[in-house]
Chains A and B, each alone.
Chain A
Amino acid sequence: MRKLGAIFLATALTLGLAACGGDSGGGQELSDGPVTLRFTWWGSDARHQRTQQVIDLFQKEHPNITVKGEFKDWNGYWESLATTVAANDAPDVIQVDELYLASYAERGALLDLGTATKHLKTADFDAEALATGQVDGKQYALPVGLAAYSMVVNTDLLARYKVTPPDDGSWTWDDLKRIGEQISTASGGKVTGVQAFGFDAGSLNVWARQNGTSLYDDKGNVAIPPAVLAGFWSYLLDLTKSGAAPEASVTIERASASLDQSGTATNASAFGTWWNTQLTSLSAASGAKLRLLKMPGEAGARSPGAYYKPSMFWSVSSRSKHQAEAALFVDFLANDEAAANVLLTDRGVPANTKIRAAITPRLADTDKAAVAYLDTLEVGQAPRVTPNGASGIEAILKRHTEEVLFGRATPDQAAAAFIKELQAEIDGA
């Protein structure tokens, strides 16, 4: 029974300890002895293979450091990460998504990389790119890749139904709807013009920014006016009712499925909103000719909707016992050309401008197109990082979009409910 008591005590203590964070990590001196780093990421099998190759390269350069890769699927990743952080057993190097960055950083789970500059260089990153990884002025995360929201068009489908491709330098949301209706009509309903959006933060951000506002204000409170939000859903409802987009249940089925099952990937929709870096995956799945277009409405927008979104970040656990080695490894991932030649655009178009230039000649055509899109896009200032507590934004958005599409709530009702719910999550964190 004494042992039992000891375990209880240890358990209770750990529940409290995990938060302390800070500088227990043995400073920024590299160890001469053998060091084992744990490195965790989510992804599919292709990413696991590439990442393992990079790990092997790093270990060859640093024979005393062993990197243990822990790969997971998206959902399992966050369950596992939350549990290990709670148990003070987090991996040393952590791949973080923008949605969760502030939630982990503000609670002290991540290391301020500003303290690790001895081994981690960030000179080849734009200041704007670096800013996406800052929370409260501290660099908790280093952006891996950048992506921009785009409209992917299937030009094969456009040609088949004899529809002229729009000029994305000037097109409007009404143009999208009109062209979408044309395609739906021409195909007799077999193909729909547009795959409706409204399930990811990207589409909402672009809409808000074009309307001269933003989803959050600088303090991290919900800032989007209800009227703008209602306009967003009214437009989606119009797309669905006019037949430009499929009926609600089909839209939702495709939206909640994986990329391979989407309307774009199965050639069931001519237009779809995606991150530009997904072009290669989409092209491989659809087998058709796909092109990236700027989002509609950009020309007449009150401020540019487009922005750079970090595809993901590298972070180091604040409780890591090997912070120097962890920083060294992140440096390798972010700055080493050999590593970049293996990873290519698997985690997005590299945010490191030097690396981006170095790998571009080696890319496939679709990846080159994605890089070109990013380079030519006129972007505004990046939106504030998703506030602590708002990591569920996409789930909340999706639910309210569903309510609207199925007529269970009017756009106005949904807008009010969405703002209230999201703000409550932020306040509760």
Chain B
Amino acid sequence: MTDLKQRPLPVVAVAGPPVRRSGVGRPLRGAVKHVGLILLALVMLYPVLWMVVSSLRPNDEIFRSPGLVLDGLHTRNYGEGWDALASPFGHYLLNSAIVVLGCIIGNLVSCSMAAYAFARLEFTGKRLWFAVMLGTIMLPIHVIIVPQYIMFSQLGWINTFLPLIVPKLLATDAFFVFLMVQFIRGLPRELDEAARIDGCGHGRIFWQIILPLMKPALATTVIFTFIWTWNDFFSQLIYLTDPQMYTVPVALRSFVDATVNTSWGSMFAMSVVSLVPVFLAFLLGQRYLVKGIATTGGK
């Protein structure tokens, strides 16, 4: 992780709101805080570091040599892991990317619309519908999946990305609807009431006032949708049975068989590879989170 430390950080660091900085600056307290944070970061990162180290070890040494000390760089795992399954691993990365992109667009559009209605509009049965929305995330997926699979197979959607993406286009991810509702409700109502007095309709209020103000929530939605879709195993396993359509988590699991030798090195190597896109998404997303404040602060 040393390369991380050398990353140019100021882009993010400078963007904080100036008012809340007044207390920092006493050097000793700052140093103590840093030591504490670095120790905490090390503890938290240990398993991740172990995974990176193991991806650089020959397969038979992974469980026989403990600790983080490497004898040499066994980079072959990366090449072997890349080509270990039916298609090059890049194929699975691409499949995952398509699903992730579809889900992000779906969640951004449909959830923000639904959230605006729940947060700002008065309509018949609002409380009931809101309860229904929350209710939809209270049933475990394991009992839904069989009827849902039957439904999608009737539609001929098995082995396409549609069962994974279309529900997101239709705001079925209540988590994000609720998240955005909370953010919108946290926005000063004066802003849109003022716009309404100026004659704006709901479409314009939503588009020109609410959306720009909830950029942090939208960025959060993007980050989470990315990460969760990228890691989601169960539904992708069930709906994608053709290896051509496999996504990263499904592909990663098919390295492992507990009853024989498993190519752990390859599996860890590809786990590391598949961490890269999410990590990049997170880095980009968090910058955006911070830009969000600049906008809010400027208002």
- The reply to whether B237 and A72 form a contact with Cβ atoms under 8 Å apart is yes
Q: How far is the CB of A255 from chain B (nearest CB, A)?
A: 11
- A11-B257 CB under 8 A given contacts A46-B263, A70-B242, A72-B237: no
Q: How far is the CB of A330 from chain B (nearest CB, A)?
A: 19
B238 at interface, CB cutoff 8 A: yes
**Contact status B255-A7, CB under 8 Å:** no
In the complex, the answer to whether A86 meets B85 with C-beta atoms within 8 Å is no
**Contact between A48 and B85 (Cβ–Cβ < 8 Å)?**
yes
CB < 8 Å: which of B145, B150, B158, B253 contacts A15?
B150
A11 touches B150 (CB 8 A): yes
B242 x A285 contact (CB < 8 A): no
How far is A14 from B237 in the complex, measured between Cα atoms in Å? 21
- Inter-chain CA distance A71–B244, complex, in Å, is 11
CA distance A281 to B59 in the complex (A): 12
In the complex, what residue of chain B is closest to A200 when comparing beta carbons? B259
Chain A neighbourhood of B131, CB < 8 A? none
Interface hub of B62, B256, B257 (most chain A Cβ within 10 A): B257
Q: Judge if B21 is at the interface, Cβ distance under 8 Å.
A: no
A49 located at the interface, meaning its Cβ lies under 8 Å from any Cβ of chain B in the complex? yes
**Which residues of A sit under 8 angstroms from B261, Cβ to Cβ?**
44, 46, 259-260, 281, 284-285
Verify A11–B151 contact, CB threshold 8 A: yes
Interface string of A254-291 (1 = CB under 8 A from B): 00011111000111000000000010010011110000
- Chain B residues with CB under 8 A of A260: 62-63, 261-262, 264
CB of A80 within 8 A of CB of B237, answer yes
Q: Known A7-B154, A11-B151, A285-B63; judge A87-B260 contact (CB<8 A).
A: no
Interface size on B, residues (CB 8 A): 38
A259-B259 contact, Cβ under 8 Å, with A69-B243, A80-B238? yes
CB pair B150–A87 under 8 Å, yes or no, is: yes
Closest to B263 in A: A45
Q: Given the known A-B contacts A76-B253, A87-B149, are A258 and B262 also in contact in the complex, defined by CB atoms under 8 Å?
A: yes
Known contacts A46-B261, A278-B259; is-contact A89 B242 (Cβ 8 Å): no
A contact residues around B147 at 8 Å (CB): 11, 15
Give the dominant DSSP class at A's interface: helix
Asked if residues B266 and A45 are in contact (CB atoms below 8 Å), the reply is yes
A6, closest chain B residue (CB):
B154
Task: Give residues in A with beta carbon < 8 Å to B.
Answer: 7, 10-11, 14-15, 38, 40, 42-49, 52, 68-74, 76, 79-80, 82-84, 86-89, 91, 257-261, 265-267, 278, 281, 284-287
A79-B63 in contact (CB<8A) = no
B155 at the binding interface (Cβ < 8 Å): yes
Q: Is the CB of B84 within 8 A of A45?
A: yes
State the CA gap A20–B257 with chains docked (Å). 33
Interface string of B47-62 (1 = CB under 8 A from A): 0000000000000101
What residues of chain A lie closer than 8 Å to B262, measured between beta carbons?
44-45, 258-260
Q: A44-B260, A44-B262, A80-B237 are in contact. Are A72 and B60 (CB under 8 A)?
A: no
B250-299 with Cβ < 8 A to chain A: 250, 253-264, 266
B150 near A45 with CB under 8 A, answer no
The distance in angstroms between the C-alpha atoms of A153 and B90, with both chains bound, is 42
B64 within 8 A of A: yes
Give chain B nearest CB distance to A6 CB in angstroms. 8
Q: Scan residues 124-179 of chain B and give those whose CB is less than 8 A from a CB of chain A.
A: 145-147, 149-151, 153-155, 158
Given contacts A10-B154, A14-B154, A72-B237, contact A267 B258 (CB under 8 A): no
Report the bound CA distance from A91 to B159 in whole Å: 13
Smallest CB gap from A9: residue in B: B154
**Cβ–Cβ < 8 Å partners of B149 in chain A:** 83-84, 86-87, 89
Which chain B residues lie closer than 8 Å to A287 at the CB level?
A: 60, 64
CB proximity of A69 to chain B, nearest CB, Å:
7
Most B CB contacts (10 A, CB to CB) among A40, A84, A286 go to A84
- Give the distance in Å from the alpha carbon of A83 to the alpha carbon of B149 in the complex: 7
**Chain B, Cβ-Cβ closest to A287:** B60
- A183 to B86 Cα, complex, angstroms: 45
Whole-angstrom CA separation of A46 from B263 in the bound complex? 8
Q: Which residues of A contact B266 (CB under 8 A)?
A: 45
Q: For residue B151, which residues in chain A have a CB less than 8 angstroms away from its CB? A: 7, 10-11
Contact present for A71 and B259 (CB under 8 Å): no
8 interchain pairs (CB within 8 A)?
A: A11-B151, A38-B241, A48-B254, A70-B242, A76-B250, A89-B158, A258-B257, A266-B63
Contact B242 A49 (CB under 8 A): no
Q: Judging by beta carbons under 8 Å apart, are A80 and B60 in contact?
A: no
- How far, in Å, is B250 (CB) from chain A's closest CB? 7
Q: Which of A15, A42, A84, A260 has most B Cβ within 10 Å?
A: A260
Closest to A311 in B: B259
- What's the minimum C-beta distance from B109 to chain A, rounded to whole angstroms? 23
- Asked whether, in the complex, the Cβ of A49 is within 8 Å of the Cβ of B60, the reply is no
Let me know if B63 and A74 touch, CB within 8 A. no
Closest to B255 in A: A45
Given contacts A48-B85, A260-B63, 12 further A-B pairs with CB under 8 A are A43-B254, A44-B256, A45-B266, A68-B242, A69-B86, A71-B254, A72-B254, A76-B233, A83-B238, A86-B146, A258-B256, A281-B261
Cα–Cα, bound, A72→B153 (Å): 20
Q: Are B150 and A14 in contact, with the CB atoms below 8 A?
A: yes
A45–B254 contact, CB under 8 A?
Answer: yes
- In the assembled complex, the Cα of A96 lies from the Cα of B248 at a distance in Å of 25
6 shortest A-B CB distances, which residue pairs? A44-B257, A258-B258, A45-B84, A73-B253, A281-B261, A87-B150
Q: Are A48 and B150 in contact (CB under 8 A)?
A: no
Task: Tell me whether A7 and B237 are in contact (CB under 8 A).
Answer: no
Closest residue of chain B to A256 (Cβ to Cβ) is B258
Chain B neighbourhood of A258, CB < 8 A: 256-259, 262
A253 and B154 CA atoms in complex are apart in Å by 44
State the Cβ distance, A17 to closest chain B Cβ, in Å. Answer: 10
Shortest Cβ distance from residue A426 to the other chain B in the assembled complex, whole angstroms: 23
Nearest CB of A to B53, in Å: 16
- CB neighbours of B242 from chain A (8 A): 68, 70
Q: Which of A43, A68, A83, A267 contacts B257 (CB 8 A)?
A: A43
Given known pairs A80-B241, A259-B261, the reply for A11 and B154 (CB within 8 Å) is yes
Residues from chain B with a CB closer than 8 A to the CB of A48 are 84-86, 254
Closest to A261 in B: B63
Q: Is the beta-carbon distance between A73 and B254 smaller than 8 angstroms?
A: yes
A70 engages B150 (CB within 8 Å): no
Bound Cα distance from A44 to B85, whole angstroms: 9
